[in-house]
Structure 1
Amino acid sequence: MSWEGIQNVVQLYSALLAIPLNLLLIFLIVCRSPKEIGTYKYLMIYISVFEIIYAIIDVVVSPFAHSYGSTFLVIVNMKKTKLSSWIIRILLSAYCGFYGSSMAVFGLHFVFRYFVATGSKLLKTFNSWMIIIWFSIPVLIGFTWSILTYWPCAKREATDRYIKNNILETFNLNLDQIEYISPYFYEIGENGTLTIYWPSFVGIGVNFCIINTSIFIIVYFGYKCYKILNSILPESRKSEKNRRLQNQLYIALVTQTLIPVILMHIPVSTLYFCSFFSLNLGSASGIAPLTIALYPVLDPLPTMFIIGQYRHSLYRGLCWIKTVFFRQKQHNTDDIEMSERNRSDL
């Protein structure tokens, strides 16, 4: 199987796992959340819906990555899709937008956790129609990322000329058989002159500022929450129970945030870095789509297993399935024994 094929298989099976896992988590949030979670459950559902949509786009687009010289490409093999080129271009831009807004989604969660820890008056905005404004922030960031990724990084003549032979040699694909997004930083002209393509620098630079701002918000408010949670002394059994829940929510959120940092942003940042310095990664760049595909599969797991109420519900559900399975198995065994006994009596 080709490297491209391996990436596509991982994307398919990751989506098939990510969708039911996130739906299960939504069920736990809606039906098994303790009352103390309050409005935060809407933010938790928001993440799960985000990851379901991301997984669907990932498997529909099925992009694969390739690094070559002063650029890297996010490629879609048009021979493997029945969708038209303009739809694939839109979905590919949306795919990049979801990547760009992933940290903003978690940044929003840390801001909320800080408001809870400090008892801020702004917490009331999450209990009213203004929660729509909060939810729209990652959407706007994702839209900005999509535009700034597509506009300076879309297919164009200079990039086509630079990558044409390499794509044909590496993947046996002509340029009319692919759609791609590619930040081409240093253009080589027809006479061999080297020119900086500033739109790529500006677009990618703004996108990096957006990502780093989201990461700063996560680190800043995450550290503030950590200090506050460790300074609170429980005054009663009820407050101890609430403190334990808040700690579980905080640990689950930190773990959830580390997953996209490790699986998404470190691999993609490596691609940007290598392209900026014209370092050719070749097929090793395919690791990025593989790890990105794993993100929506792994991300719901910390919430399921760290928060006690959800963990106990899953355990009871597994015990019920086990009981039903063995009861059915025992019933079938009894029927066989009864049948054999009847035959022997005859």
Structure 2
Amino acid sequence: MVLYSSKTEPFLSTSSDMVCATEFVRYLHLIHYIGFVGAQSLNAVLVFLIITKSENLLGNYRYAMFVFTLCSMVYSMVEILVQPVGHMKGSMFVVFMHSSILNATNPLAEFLTCLHCVLSGFVASLLACQFIFRYLAVCRTHFLVHLQGINLCLLFIPSIFVFAVWHFGFFHGMPNTLEKQIFLREELQTCFNVNTTVNPFVGPMYWTKGADGQIHWNIFELISALSCFAVLIICFFTIVFCAYSIFMKMSNSIHHLSAKTLDLNKQLFRMLCIQTVIPMITMYFPVALFVTLPMFGKDIPYLGNMTSSSLAIYPIIEPIIAMTCVASFRKAIKGSIRCSVSRSTQFAIHPASSPRLTDQKQ
């Protein structure tokens, strides 16, 4: 029999805390729906711009942007089906399904819950692939000849590796066990009206405390979680290295590059930096706390829900940044808006003549 320390007692113990948790989840679901609609519409616009406005300007880099955008749309679709909620308790963090669309007993429910977590890491790693491409395009131009045609798929090997590590970690390294169901049952039922024996969830239990008070580490689950965390750290340092190298190369090549090439490199560099910095503050840092604090038996109230909120908004932010930073995209959008406004104004000033009035005049 496993006994748990007092630190693992439910944080949300009062009725006001329970009501607050319930209300927070309602707002979280609203954010999920807003995120889904916004992500699908904005990313669809970005896909159209990539296809129609970037062939001569961006070259093969447009394929990297295209893959990143499509994967963001897929991630948003999975998220709206799962409507995940994050929670921390004692030595465990958990992401569970709280969907109003998909029934918890659906055979795909557990699969989609794990897939949502895997895709969040996969999409983040695609940003590193874009930085790698820009690094090669600016600093190691001679390598681009090896990324032509089908060989461009080699660019996504790091993301495929991240997907494999996260897939193993969440699908096999953090199993939904009876011990976890019992550990979470009372708190999730009280705070979220979630039955742990029915609702699918995923998350590691880093350690347990035995009757003798000794901590017993769950090595396999610890390694699984740390492996997922480690590959994202590698992606982060890859981004930092590429960003620094690109910046230094552009600074030293001001007088050696044409104004058009230099301006394009600055646009893409600015876009990638903003796409990295904003999610790092709003998403990656909270996720890092969400993953690591349970190792020490600590938690921050509602951090899981705040993390879920930022993950839901993430697919909206990326296309806005791209459409704002890339001049050709920005001009195309402004042109479409001006055209729409012009047509509306023209229609308001010169409305279509009524057929009845026309007949009377005749």
Q: Same fold (TM over 0.5)?
A: yes
Inter-CA distance 66–83: structure 2 relative to 1 (3 Å threshold): closer
> Could you tell me which residue of structure 1 aligns to residue 143 of structure 2?
122
Kept in 2: contact 1:259–1:295 (CA 8 A): no
Which of 314, 327, 335 is residue 295 of structure 1 equivalent to?
314
What residue number does 1:17 align with?
38
Which digits, 9 at most, give the CA deviation of each residue in 1:117-154, with x for residues without a partner? 12432211221211123234313311320221232322
Q: Give 1 or 2: higher helix fraction.
A: 1
CA distance in 2, matches of 1:11, 1:144: 26
1:309 to 2:307 alignment:
no
User: What TM-score does the superposition give when structure 2 sets the normalisation length?
Assistant: 0.86
Aligned residue among 77, 95, 107 for 2:128: 107
Report the equivalent of 1:81.
Answer: 102
Q: Which moved more, 1:144-153 or 1:49-58?
A: 144-153
- The aligned counterpart of 2:282 is 263
Letter in 2 for 1:198: I
CA distance in structure 2 between the partners assigned to 1:124 and 1:37 by the alignment: 15
* Equivalence for 2:238: 217
Are 1:91 and 2:112 matched, yes or no? yes
Residues 78 and 177 of structure 1 are in contact (CA less than 8 Å); yes or no, is this contact kept in structure 2?
no
Cα deviation per residue 1:148-194 (whole Å; 9 max; x = unaligned)?
A: 12323221022122111111221223223311012111224578764
Match of 2:264 among 229, 236, 245: 245
**Deviations 1:290-309, CA, capped at 9 Å, x for gaps:** 01001000111121111111
How far 1:79 sits from its partner (Å)?
A: 6.9
Matches within 5 A, 1:1-346: 2-33=23-54, 35-77=56-98, 81-82=102-103, 84-188=105-209, 194-234=215-255, 239-332=258-351
Contact (CA 8 Å) 1:70, 1:276: kept in 2 or not? yes
Aligned residue for 1:64, secondary structure, equals: strand
Greater shift in the superposed pair: 287-296 or 60-69:
60-69
189-198 vs 249-258, which deviates more? 189-198
CA positional deviation for 1:284: 3.8
After the TM superposition, which of the residue ranges 289-298 and 153-162 deviates more from structure 2?
A: 153-162
Q: CA RMSD in A?
A: 2.3
Q: Taking structure 1 as the reference length, what is the TM-score of the superposition?
A: 0.90
The alignment covers a number of residue pairs equal to: 337
Query: For structure 1, which segment, 127-136 or 246-255, has the greater mean C-alpha deviation from structure 2 after superposition?
Result: 127-136
Where in structure 2 are there 5+ consecutive unaligned residues? 1-21
Shift of 1:16: 0.6
C-alpha contact 1:187 1:195 (8 A) present in aligned 2: yes
Contact 1:256 1:300 in 2 (8 A): no
My pick for the range that moved more, 5-14 or 149-158, is 149-158
Once the two structures are TM-superposed, the CA of residue 251 in structure 1 deviates from its matched residue by: 0.6
CA–CA distance in structure 1, aligned partners of residues 176 and 38 of structure 2: 33
CA distance in 2, matches of 1:156, 1:298: 36
